[in-house]
Amino acid sequence: MFPVDHSILAPSAGRVDPEAAPARPAVVLLCDATGIPILLATTADARAFLRKRLGPGPDAPRADVPSGDAALPEVIGARTLRLAPRTDLSSIVARADLTLVGSGFEADLAFLEVARRAMPATWEALTERWRGWFIHLDPEVPGWRKTNLGDAASGTMPAEIQHLIGPVNSKNLASKLGEIIDDAFDLCRYPRELALAPRGTACAYKEMGRCPAPCDGSEPIDSYRSRVRGALDELRLDPACRGSAWQHDMQRAAGAQDYRVAADLKGRLDRLDALGKPALREARPMDTLRFVAIYGAGRAGWARAWWIDPWTCHPLGDFSGADLNASATNLHRLVTEHGRDLDARLPGLLARGVDPTLVGIVARHLVRKRSVRSVGLLRSPRAGSPSDEPARLHAAYRKFIAAAARVEQTDVEEFDRATLA
Protein backbone atom coordinates (compact mmCIF):
# COMPACT_ATOMS: atom_id res chain seq x y z
CA MET A 1 0.00 0.00 0.00
CA PHE A 2 2.94 2.35 0.60
CA PRO A 3 5.48 2.01 -2.23
CA VAL A 4 8.82 3.78 -2.15
CA ASP A 5 8.33 7.09 -3.97
CA HIS A 6 11.99 8.10 -4.18
CA SER A 7 15.13 6.01 -3.81
CA ILE A 8 18.31 8.09 -3.65
CA LEU A 9 21.50 6.10 -4.25
CA ALA A 10 25.02 7.15 -3.41
CA PRO A 11 27.30 7.15 -6.45
CA SER A 12 30.41 5.00 -6.40
CA ALA A 13 32.75 6.29 -3.71
CA GLY A 14 30.24 9.06 -3.09
CA ARG A 15 27.41 9.89 -0.74
CA VAL A 16 23.65 10.28 -0.81
CA ASP A 17 22.74 13.79 -1.96
CA PRO A 18 20.06 15.33 0.32
CA GLU A 19 19.18 17.85 -2.42
CA ALA A 20 17.70 15.01 -4.49
CA ALA A 21 14.96 14.58 -1.87
CA PRO A 22 11.72 16.58 -2.06
CA ALA A 23 10.93 19.00 0.75
CA ARG A 24 7.82 17.00 1.67
CA PRO A 25 6.62 14.85 4.59
CA ALA A 26 7.90 11.30 4.33
CA VAL A 27 8.94 8.11 6.01
CA VAL A 28 12.70 7.83 5.51
CA LEU A 29 14.65 4.57 5.52
CA LEU A 30 18.44 4.83 5.41
CA CYS A 31 20.39 1.71 4.42
CA ASP A 32 24.04 0.77 4.02
CA ALA A 33 25.68 -0.64 0.88
CA THR A 34 24.44 -4.16 1.64
CA GLY A 35 20.83 -3.01 2.12
CA ILE A 36 20.85 -3.33 5.92
CA PRO A 37 18.63 -0.66 7.55
CA ILE A 38 20.47 1.98 9.52
CA LEU A 39 17.70 4.38 10.47
CA LEU A 40 13.94 4.60 10.03
CA ALA A 41 12.18 7.87 10.74
CA THR A 42 9.21 10.07 9.99
CA THR A 43 9.74 13.70 9.09
CA ALA A 44 7.77 16.71 7.90
CA ASP A 45 10.54 17.62 5.43
CA ALA A 46 12.60 14.83 3.85
CA ARG A 47 15.23 17.16 2.34
CA ALA A 48 15.88 19.00 5.60
CA PHE A 49 15.97 15.69 7.46
CA LEU A 50 18.66 14.27 5.16
CA ARG A 51 20.66 17.49 5.42
CA LYS A 52 20.72 17.11 9.20
CA ARG A 53 21.61 13.42 9.09
CA LEU A 54 24.00 13.34 6.16
CA GLY A 55 25.30 16.88 5.97
CA PRO A 56 24.35 19.45 3.32
CA GLY A 57 24.43 18.79 -0.38
CA PRO A 58 27.11 20.57 -2.44
CA ASP A 59 24.68 23.36 -3.39
CA ALA A 60 22.82 23.70 -0.08
CA PRO A 61 23.19 26.95 1.87
CA ARG A 62 25.18 26.43 5.04
CA ALA A 63 22.52 28.22 7.12
CA ASP A 64 20.21 25.23 6.67
CA VAL A 65 22.63 22.94 8.48
CA PRO A 66 22.40 22.58 12.28
CA SER A 67 25.49 23.05 14.41
CA GLY A 68 27.84 20.11 14.29
CA ASP A 69 28.34 20.31 18.05
CA ALA A 70 24.78 19.21 18.75
CA ALA A 71 24.43 15.60 19.83
CA LEU A 72 21.68 13.77 17.94
CA PRO A 73 19.45 11.38 19.92
CA GLU A 74 18.85 7.93 18.48
CA VAL A 75 16.58 5.17 19.72
CA ILE A 76 17.82 1.58 19.74
CA GLY A 77 15.22 -0.90 20.93
CA ALA A 78 14.14 0.30 24.35
CA ARG A 79 17.41 2.14 25.05
CA THR A 80 18.39 5.72 24.22
CA LEU A 81 21.85 6.42 22.82
CA ARG A 82 23.35 9.84 22.24
CA LEU A 83 25.64 10.00 19.25
CA ALA A 84 28.96 11.71 19.72
CA PRO A 85 29.19 15.31 18.47
CA ARG A 86 29.80 15.69 14.73
CA THR A 87 28.54 12.17 13.97
CA ASP A 88 28.23 11.87 10.18
CA LEU A 89 25.97 9.10 8.92
CA SER A 90 26.85 9.89 5.29
CA SER A 91 29.91 7.63 5.53
CA ILE A 92 27.74 4.51 6.01
CA VAL A 93 24.50 5.43 4.22
CA ALA A 94 24.35 4.19 0.62
CA ARG A 95 20.63 4.57 -0.06
CA ALA A 96 17.72 6.64 1.18
CA ASP A 97 14.21 5.31 0.46
CA LEU A 98 11.45 7.90 0.81
CA THR A 99 7.75 7.11 1.17
CA LEU A 100 5.84 10.38 0.79
CA VAL A 101 2.82 10.93 3.07
CA GLY A 102 0.13 13.57 3.50
CA SER A 103 -0.51 13.48 7.25
CA GLY A 104 0.72 12.21 10.59
CA PHE A 105 -1.85 9.42 10.44
CA GLU A 106 -0.58 8.27 7.04
CA ALA A 107 3.02 8.59 8.29
CA ASP A 108 2.27 6.22 11.16
CA LEU A 109 0.64 3.72 8.80
CA ALA A 110 3.51 3.93 6.33
CA PHE A 111 6.08 3.57 9.11
CA LEU A 112 4.30 0.42 10.28
CA GLU A 113 4.43 -1.13 6.82
CA VAL A 114 8.05 -0.12 6.08
CA ALA A 115 9.21 -1.37 9.49
CA ARG A 116 7.44 -4.69 8.98
CA ARG A 117 8.96 -5.08 5.52
CA ALA A 118 12.50 -3.84 6.18
CA MET A 119 13.03 -4.88 9.80
CA PRO A 120 11.04 -8.08 10.38
CA ALA A 121 13.35 -9.31 13.13
CA THR A 122 12.97 -6.17 15.24
CA TRP A 123 9.56 -4.96 14.07
CA GLU A 124 7.61 -6.33 17.03
CA ALA A 125 9.94 -4.69 19.58
CA LEU A 126 9.89 -1.41 17.65
CA THR A 127 6.11 -1.23 17.63
CA GLU A 128 5.43 -2.51 21.16
CA ARG A 129 4.76 0.98 22.48
CA TRP A 130 2.33 1.72 19.63
CA ARG A 131 -0.23 -0.85 20.69
CA GLY A 132 -3.60 0.21 22.00
CA TRP A 133 -4.93 -1.25 25.25
CA PHE A 134 -8.16 -3.13 25.84
CA ILE A 135 -9.91 -5.03 28.53
CA HIS A 136 -11.17 -8.52 27.79
CA LEU A 137 -14.62 -8.99 29.33
CA ASP A 138 -16.08 -12.41 28.57
CA PRO A 139 -19.44 -13.31 30.17
CA GLU A 140 -18.21 -16.89 30.59
CA VAL A 141 -14.98 -15.91 32.41
CA PRO A 142 -14.97 -14.25 35.86
CA GLY A 143 -13.70 -10.67 35.78
CA TRP A 144 -11.76 -8.85 33.09
CA ARG A 145 -8.11 -8.62 32.14
CA LYS A 146 -5.97 -5.99 30.41
CA THR A 147 -4.35 -6.71 27.06
CA ASN A 148 -2.47 -4.77 24.39
CA LEU A 149 -3.13 -7.65 21.97
CA GLY A 150 0.51 -8.69 22.21
CA ASP A 151 -0.76 -12.23 22.65
CA ALA A 152 -2.09 -12.13 19.08
CA ALA A 153 1.22 -13.43 17.74
CA SER A 154 1.14 -16.44 20.06
CA GLY A 155 -2.41 -17.31 19.08
CA THR A 156 -3.73 -16.91 22.63
CA MET A 157 -5.61 -13.67 21.99
CA PRO A 158 -9.35 -14.06 22.55
CA ALA A 159 -10.95 -14.97 19.26
CA GLU A 160 -14.23 -13.22 20.04
CA ILE A 161 -13.26 -9.61 19.56
CA GLN A 162 -16.72 -8.45 20.64
CA HIS A 163 -15.45 -9.12 24.18
CA LEU A 164 -12.51 -6.72 23.75
CA ILE A 165 -13.40 -3.21 24.94
CA GLY A 166 -11.23 -0.31 23.82
CA PRO A 167 -9.02 1.10 22.57
CA VAL A 168 -7.40 3.33 25.14
CA ASN A 169 -3.80 4.46 24.88
CA SER A 170 -2.21 3.19 28.09
CA LYS A 171 -2.16 0.27 30.49
CA ASN A 172 -3.25 2.50 33.36
CA LEU A 173 -6.25 3.73 31.40
CA ALA A 174 -7.20 0.12 30.65
CA SER A 175 -7.27 -0.57 34.40
CA LYS A 176 -9.37 2.52 34.97
CA LEU A 177 -11.73 1.48 32.17
CA GLY A 178 -12.28 -1.94 33.73
CA GLU A 179 -12.89 -0.45 37.18
CA ILE A 180 -15.41 2.08 35.82
CA ILE A 181 -17.30 -0.67 33.95
CA ASP A 182 -17.46 -2.75 37.14
CA ASP A 183 -18.68 0.30 39.03
CA ALA A 184 -21.24 1.45 36.43
CA PHE A 185 -22.81 -1.97 35.87
CA ASP A 186 -22.24 -3.36 39.38
CA LEU A 187 -20.17 -6.27 38.11
CA CYS A 188 -18.04 -8.42 40.38
CA ARG A 189 -14.91 -6.66 41.71
CA TYR A 190 -13.41 -9.89 43.09
CA PRO A 191 -13.20 -12.44 40.25
CA ARG A 192 -11.39 -14.98 42.44
CA GLU A 193 -14.47 -15.23 44.64
CA LEU A 194 -16.74 -15.31 41.59
CA ALA A 195 -14.77 -18.28 40.25
CA LEU A 196 -15.82 -20.16 43.42
CA ALA A 197 -19.55 -19.45 42.92
CA PRO A 198 -21.84 -20.43 44.54
CA ARG A 199 -19.42 -21.06 47.42
CA GLY A 200 -17.50 -17.79 47.27
CA THR A 201 -17.48 -15.15 49.99
CA ALA A 202 -19.51 -12.00 49.41
CA CYS A 203 -17.77 -8.64 49.72
CA ALA A 204 -18.89 -5.31 51.16
CA TYR A 205 -20.57 -4.32 47.90
CA LYS A 206 -23.34 -6.82 48.68
CA GLU A 207 -23.99 -5.12 52.00
CA MET A 208 -24.11 -1.73 50.23
CA GLY A 209 -26.65 -3.05 47.74
CA ARG A 210 -24.16 -2.52 44.92
CA CYS A 211 -23.79 -6.16 43.87
CA PRO A 212 -26.32 -9.05 43.75
CA ALA A 213 -23.48 -11.36 44.88
CA PRO A 214 -23.29 -14.19 42.36
CA CYS A 215 -20.18 -15.35 44.23
CA ASP A 216 -22.14 -16.71 47.21
CA GLY A 217 -25.11 -17.85 45.12
CA SER A 218 -27.42 -14.93 45.99
CA GLU A 219 -27.64 -14.29 42.26
CA PRO A 220 -27.67 -17.24 39.83
CA ILE A 221 -24.50 -17.31 37.76
CA ASP A 222 -26.53 -17.37 34.54
CA SER A 223 -28.21 -14.14 35.64
CA TYR A 224 -24.79 -12.58 36.23
CA ARG A 225 -23.57 -13.63 32.78
CA SER A 226 -26.70 -12.10 31.29
CA ARG A 227 -25.87 -8.81 33.06
CA VAL A 228 -22.34 -8.88 31.60
CA ARG A 229 -23.80 -9.38 28.12
CA GLY A 230 -26.14 -6.46 28.81
CA ALA A 231 -23.16 -4.30 29.79
CA LEU A 232 -21.41 -5.18 26.52
CA ASP A 233 -24.55 -4.27 24.56
CA GLU A 234 -24.81 -0.94 26.37
CA LEU A 235 -21.14 -0.17 25.66
CA ARG A 236 -21.76 -0.63 21.94
CA LEU A 237 -23.87 2.52 22.00
CA ASP A 238 -22.70 6.08 21.63
CA PRO A 239 -22.01 7.52 25.13
CA ALA A 240 -24.91 9.97 24.70
CA CYS A 241 -27.33 7.06 24.17
CA ARG A 242 -26.24 4.89 27.08
CA GLY A 243 -28.38 4.38 30.16
CA SER A 244 -31.68 5.34 28.51
CA ALA A 245 -33.49 2.44 30.21
CA TRP A 246 -32.08 3.50 33.60
CA GLN A 247 -33.14 7.08 32.91
CA HIS A 248 -36.69 5.92 32.20
CA ASP A 249 -36.78 3.72 35.31
CA MET A 250 -35.39 6.57 37.44
CA GLN A 251 -38.12 8.95 36.29
CA ARG A 252 -40.78 6.32 36.92
CA ALA A 253 -39.43 5.61 40.42
CA ALA A 254 -39.32 9.31 41.23
CA GLY A 255 -42.89 9.68 40.00
CA ALA A 256 -43.92 6.86 42.31
CA GLN A 257 -41.99 8.56 45.16
CA ASP A 258 -39.66 5.57 45.43
CA TYR A 259 -36.74 7.85 46.08
CA ARG A 260 -34.35 5.12 47.22
CA VAL A 261 -34.59 3.33 43.84
CA ALA A 262 -34.44 6.66 41.99
CA ALA A 263 -31.29 7.65 43.90
CA ASP A 264 -29.68 4.28 43.17
CA LEU A 265 -30.39 4.65 39.44
CA LYS A 266 -29.12 8.23 39.50
CA GLY A 267 -25.86 6.96 41.01
CA ARG A 268 -25.52 4.34 38.29
CA LEU A 269 -26.09 6.96 35.60
CA ASP A 270 -23.44 9.20 37.16
CA ARG A 271 -20.97 6.33 37.20
CA LEU A 272 -21.82 5.53 33.58
CA ASP A 273 -21.07 9.15 32.62
CA ALA A 274 -17.42 8.55 33.51
CA LEU A 275 -17.12 6.38 30.38
CA GLY A 276 -17.81 9.48 28.27
CA LYS A 277 -14.62 11.23 29.37
CA PRO A 278 -12.27 12.16 26.49
CA ALA A 279 -9.70 9.43 27.18
CA LEU A 280 -12.40 6.73 27.29
CA ARG A 281 -15.03 8.08 24.90
CA GLU A 282 -14.19 5.65 22.07
CA ALA A 283 -13.77 2.56 24.26
CA ARG A 284 -16.37 0.11 22.97
CA PRO A 285 -16.45 -3.58 22.00
CA MET A 286 -14.08 -3.95 19.07
CA ASP A 287 -16.62 -5.40 16.68
CA THR A 288 -18.10 -1.86 16.50
CA LEU A 289 -14.78 -0.26 15.53
CA ARG A 290 -15.28 1.35 12.13
CA PHE A 291 -14.07 4.83 11.24
CA VAL A 292 -13.51 7.18 8.37
CA ALA A 293 -10.21 9.02 8.79
CA ILE A 294 -10.02 12.32 6.89
CA TYR A 295 -6.65 14.07 6.75
CA GLY A 296 -4.57 16.08 4.34
CA ALA A 297 -3.58 14.47 1.05
CA GLY A 298 -0.17 16.12 0.77
CA ARG A 299 -1.36 18.55 -1.90
CA ALA A 300 -3.13 21.87 -1.49
CA GLY A 301 -6.91 21.81 -1.66
CA TRP A 302 -7.34 18.06 -1.29
CA ALA A 303 -8.23 15.70 1.55
CA ARG A 304 -7.55 11.97 1.77
CA ALA A 305 -10.08 9.62 3.37
CA TRP A 306 -9.34 6.20 4.87
CA TRP A 307 -11.60 3.33 5.84
CA ILE A 308 -10.74 1.65 9.16
CA ASP A 309 -12.20 -1.46 10.77
CA PRO A 310 -10.63 -4.04 13.13
CA TRP A 311 -9.07 -5.93 10.21
CA THR A 312 -8.25 -3.38 7.51
CA CYS A 313 -7.18 0.18 6.87
CA HIS A 314 -6.99 1.48 3.30
CA PRO A 315 -7.50 4.77 1.44
CA LEU A 316 -10.92 5.51 -0.03
CA GLY A 317 -9.46 8.20 -2.28
CA ASP A 318 -8.64 11.90 -2.46
CA PHE A 319 -11.45 14.44 -2.29
CA SER A 320 -11.43 18.02 -3.52
CA GLY A 321 -12.13 20.87 -1.14
CA ALA A 322 -13.29 22.98 -4.08
CA ASP A 323 -16.56 21.05 -4.56
CA LEU A 324 -17.57 19.95 -1.08
CA ASN A 325 -21.05 18.76 -2.01
CA ALA A 326 -19.78 16.37 -4.67
CA SER A 327 -16.88 15.22 -2.49
CA ALA A 328 -19.12 14.56 0.52
CA THR A 329 -21.67 12.72 -1.62
CA ASN A 330 -19.00 10.51 -3.17
CA LEU A 331 -17.39 9.78 0.20
CA HIS A 332 -20.77 8.97 1.76
CA ARG A 333 -21.46 6.49 -1.05
CA LEU A 334 -18.09 4.77 -0.57
CA VAL A 335 -18.45 4.59 3.20
CA THR A 336 -21.96 3.15 2.90
CA GLU A 337 -20.72 0.47 0.49
CA HIS A 338 -17.86 -0.47 2.79
CA GLY A 339 -20.18 -0.60 5.79
CA ARG A 340 -22.63 -2.91 4.03
CA ASP A 341 -19.81 -5.16 2.87
CA LEU A 342 -18.41 -5.34 6.41
CA ASP A 343 -21.84 -6.16 7.87
CA ALA A 344 -22.23 -9.00 5.37
CA ARG A 345 -18.80 -10.44 6.20
CA LEU A 346 -18.86 -9.77 9.94
CA PRO A 347 -19.96 -13.24 11.16
CA GLY A 348 -16.95 -14.81 9.45
CA LEU A 349 -14.57 -12.08 10.53
CA LEU A 350 -15.26 -12.17 14.26
CA ALA A 351 -13.01 -15.17 14.80
CA ARG A 352 -10.10 -13.61 12.89
CA GLY A 353 -7.15 -11.98 14.58
CA VAL A 354 -6.47 -8.26 14.27
CA ASP A 355 -3.30 -6.24 13.80
CA PRO A 356 -2.46 -4.89 17.29
CA THR A 357 -0.15 -2.16 16.00
CA LEU A 358 -2.68 -0.91 13.47
CA VAL A 359 -5.29 -0.75 16.23
CA GLY A 360 -2.73 1.08 18.37
CA ILE A 361 -2.21 3.72 15.67
CA VAL A 362 -5.97 4.24 15.49
CA ALA A 363 -6.12 4.51 19.30
CA ARG A 364 -3.34 7.07 19.33
CA HIS A 365 -5.18 9.35 16.93
CA LEU A 366 -8.61 8.72 18.48
CA VAL A 367 -7.69 10.13 21.87
CA ARG A 368 -6.14 13.34 20.59
CA LYS A 369 -7.67 16.59 21.77
CA ARG A 370 -10.88 17.59 20.05
CA SER A 371 -9.26 20.83 18.89
CA VAL A 372 -6.70 18.77 16.97
CA ARG A 373 -9.29 16.27 15.78
CA SER A 374 -11.28 18.83 13.76
CA VAL A 375 -9.43 16.99 11.03
CA GLY A 376 -9.28 13.32 11.86
CA LEU A 377 -11.40 10.30 12.65
CA LEU A 378 -15.17 10.12 12.36
CA ARG A 379 -17.00 7.04 13.62
CA SER A 380 -18.98 5.36 10.85
CA PRO A 381 -22.33 4.17 12.25
CA ARG A 382 -23.90 0.85 11.44
CA ALA A 383 -26.84 0.91 9.06
CA GLY A 384 -30.06 1.55 10.92
CA SER A 385 -28.39 3.01 14.03
CA PRO A 386 -29.79 6.26 15.49
CA SER A 387 -26.78 8.19 14.17
CA ASP A 388 -27.08 6.77 10.64
CA GLU A 389 -28.72 9.87 9.17
CA PRO A 390 -27.64 10.78 5.62
CA ALA A 391 -28.05 14.52 6.16
CA ARG A 392 -26.00 14.48 9.37
CA LEU A 393 -23.26 12.33 7.86
CA HIS A 394 -23.13 14.42 4.67
CA ALA A 395 -22.66 17.58 6.74
CA ALA A 396 -19.93 15.92 8.81
CA TYR A 397 -18.05 14.78 5.70
CA ARG A 398 -18.28 18.31 4.25
CA LYS A 399 -16.84 19.77 7.44
CA PHE A 400 -13.98 17.30 7.71
CA ILE A 401 -13.04 17.46 4.02
CA ALA A 402 -13.04 21.26 4.10
CA ALA A 403 -10.82 21.32 7.20
CA ALA A 404 -8.38 18.73 5.81
CA ALA A 405 -8.13 20.43 2.42
CA ARG A 406 -7.13 23.69 4.13
CA VAL A 407 -4.23 22.13 6.00
CA GLU A 408 -1.06 23.82 4.78
CA GLN A 409 1.42 22.21 7.15
CA THR A 410 1.28 18.53 7.89
CA ASP A 411 1.18 17.18 11.43
CA VAL A 412 3.92 14.59 10.74
CA GLU A 413 6.21 14.31 13.74
CA GLU A 414 9.94 14.25 13.22
CA PHE A 415 10.96 11.36 15.32
CA ASP A 416 13.44 8.53 14.89
CA ARG A 417 11.61 5.26 15.46
CA ALA A 418 14.47 2.80 14.94
CA THR A 419 18.12 2.81 14.17
CA LEU A 420 21.02 0.46 13.67
CA ALA A 421 18.64 -2.51 13.58
For residue range 91-113, list pLDDT tens digits in order: 889 999 999 999 989 999 999 89
Q: What are the pLDDT digits (tens) for 203-238?
A: 998 888 888 999 999 999 999 999 999 999 999 988
Considering the domain boundaries, does residue 322 fall inside one? Answer: yes
The larger pLDDT score, comparing residue 222 to residue 372, is at: 222
pLDDT on residue 98: 96
pLDDT at residue 244 tops 80: yes
pLDDT band at residue 67 using 50, 70 and 90 as cut-offs: very low
Residues 11, 124, single domain; the answer is: yes
* pLDDT at residue number 83: 38
Query: In the structure, what pLDDT confidence band is assigned to residue 90 with cuts at 50, 70 and 90?
Result: confident
pLDDT exceeds cutoff 70 at 155: no
Q: Is the confidence at residue 34, as pLDDT, over 80? A: yes
Within this chain, do residues 147 and 96 fall inside the same structural domain, yes or no? no
Same domain, 187 and 95: no
Question: Is the same domain home to 318 and 395?
Answer: yes
Each residue's pLDDT tens digit, 182-211: 999 999 999 999 999 999 999 998 888 888
Does the structure show a pLDDT above 50 at 78?
A: no
In this structure, are residues 295 and 105 in contact, taking their beta carbons and an 8 Å threshold?
Answer: yes
- pLDDT (average), residues 150-176: 77
Could you tell me if 125 and 137 lie in one domain? no
Give the structural domain span for 380: 287-405
274 lies in some domain: no
pLDDT of residue 157: 54
What is the C-alpha to C-alpha distance for residues 312 and 61, in angstroms, rounded to an integer?
44
Are residues 356 and 301 part of one domain? yes
49 in a domain, yes or no?
Answer: yes
Q: Is residue 249 part of a domain?
A: no
Q: Is there a domain that residue 225 lies in?
A: yes
Same domain, yes or no: 117 and 17: yes
More confident residue, 14 or 37: 37
Show which of 218, 236, 254 is a domain's final residue. Answer: 236
Q: How confident is the model at residue 421 (pLDDT cuts 50, 70, 90)?
A: very low
- Among 195, 217, 236, the domain-final residue is 236
On whether residue 19 sits in a domain, the answer given is: yes
Tally of domains within the chain: 3
Average pLDDT value for residue range 139-144: 91
Q: Same domain, yes or no, for 199 and 314?
A: no
Residues 6+ apart with CB under 8 A from 347: none
| Average pLDDT of the chain to the nearest whole number | 83
- Structural domain ending residue among the three candidates 213, 236, 259: 236
pLDDT band at 413 (very low <50, low <70, confident <90, very high): confident
pTM over 0.85: no
pLDDT(76) > 60: no
More confident residue, 373 or 243: 243
Judge whether residue 66 has pLDDT over 70: no
| Mean pLDDT in residue range 248-256 | 92
Tell me what pLDDT residue 362 has. Answer: 85
Shortest CA distance to 110 belongs to which of 2, 244, 258, 257? 2
pLDDT in the model for residue 63: 46
Mean pLDDT score, 4-14 = 83
> Does a structural domain hold residue 253?
no
